[in-house]
Amino acid sequence: MSHLIAPSVLAANFGHMDHDVQMLNQSTADWIHIDVMDGRFVPNISFGFPVLQAIKAKATKTLDVHLMIESPELYIEQFQKAGADIITVHEEACTHLHRTLQQIKDTGAKAGVALNPHTPIQVLSEVIEDIDVVCLMSVNPGFGGQKFIQHTYRKIEQLKALIVERNASTLIEIDGGVNLDNAPLLLRAGADVLVAGSFVFNSNNPTNTILELKNLTR
Ligand code: DX5
Ligand code: ZN
């Protein structure tokens, strides 16, 4: 499988969301990454159900919803109904992660787990077979446009080893500070999905930037 590109609409223009979603529909993006923040789990507030529904109404791509919220188990069904195809919860926000993953799958959505930069891969060793996507945060979550954290490469290799050892089909997604300098190295280390926010939307030609990320070889 070739790698996937998931532009993050956190960096899009919210006054022209229709225009930006159309651009993504027509681009070589595979997923649309949607960052939900509650002002509790992370020190920022982004958007919730109405915005997700509005994106869903226009989007023709898989909606990859990254929940940076406390107690995500309270809202799983609502996010699926609002249009999420993939629902990613933070390991640090889930006391009963195994149960929450089952809850996500029961809605018909794919289940993702995100890990903060400080969280070791080992916390997933007993649930890896139940996870469709692991999202490795390569910045501290809460804001777009931050600097990529270098130790992410090491975590990709550790995660890849765990996935291979358990014969799991989990995808490895990298989120934060991704650009054309680090993307080739991330793919070589084992990344399957690259999220890119500011690098795509702050570029002169977002469609072309998405294509450049997509055309990299592993
Ligand atoms: C950070 C978000 C990221 C963010 C990435 O909390 O989870 O998805 O939008 O933005 P860039 O690519 O600008 O780091
Ligand atoms: Zn994200």
Give mean pLDDT, residues 95-107.
98
Query: Is 192 a catalytic site residue?
Result: no
Q: Which residues make up each annotated binding site for substrate?
A: 8, 66, 142-145, 175-177, 197-198
- What CATH number does domain 4-214 carry, 3.40.720.10, 3.20.20.70, 3.20.20.30, 3.40.190.10? 3.20.20.70
Q: What pLDDT digit, counting tens, does each position of 158-209 carry?
A: 999 999 999 999 999 999 999 999 999 999 999 999 999 999 999 999 999 9
Which amino acid type is present at position 63? Answer: L
**pLDDT band of 218, cuts 50, 70, 90:** confident
Looking from the CA of residue 44, the nearest atom of ligand 1 is: 6
Q: What pLDDT digit, counting tens, does each position of 2-15 carry?
A: 999 999 999 999 99
Interface pTM, i.e. ipTM: 0.99
Query: Is 35 a catalytic site residue?
Result: yes
pLDDT at 93: 98
Give mean pLDDT, residues 71-80.
98
Answer whether 11 contacts ligand 1 (Cβ < 6 A).
Answer: yes
Under 8 Å CB-to-CB from 51, ≥6 apart: which residues? 14, 17
Asked if residue 138 lies in contact with residue 116, where contact means CB atoms within 8 angstroms, the answer is no
CA–centroid distance, 34 to ligand 2, in Å, is: 7
Q: What is the enclosing helix (H) or strand (E) of 67?
A: strand 62-68
> Cα(135)–Cα(121) distance, rounded to whole angstroms?
11
Q: Which residues make up each annotated binding site?
A: 8, 33, 35, 66, 142-145, 175-177, 197-198
**pLDDT band of 30, cuts 50, 70, 90:** very high
pLDDT at 3: 98
pLDDT at 135: 99
Which residue in this structure is represented by tokens 């891969």? Answer: 121
DSSP notation for 81-146: HHT-SEEEEEGGG-TTHHHHHHHHHHTT-EEEEEE-TTS-GGGGTTTGGG-SEEEEESS-TT-SSP
Domain chopping of the chain, boundaries:
4-214
pLDDT at 110: 99
Looking from the CA of residue 197, the nearest atom of ligand 1 is: 12
pLDDT at 1: 84
Answer whether 48 contacts ligand 1 (Cβ < 6 A).
Answer: no
| CA-closest residue to ligand 1 atom 6 | 141
Asked if residue 8 lies in contact with residue 197, where contact means CB atoms within 8 angstroms, the answer is yes
Encoded tokens for 148 = 């990529």
User: What percent of the chain has pLDDT above 70?
Assistant: 100
Mean pLDDT score of the chain? 98
Rounded-to-10 torsion of CA 100, 72, 199, 201: 120
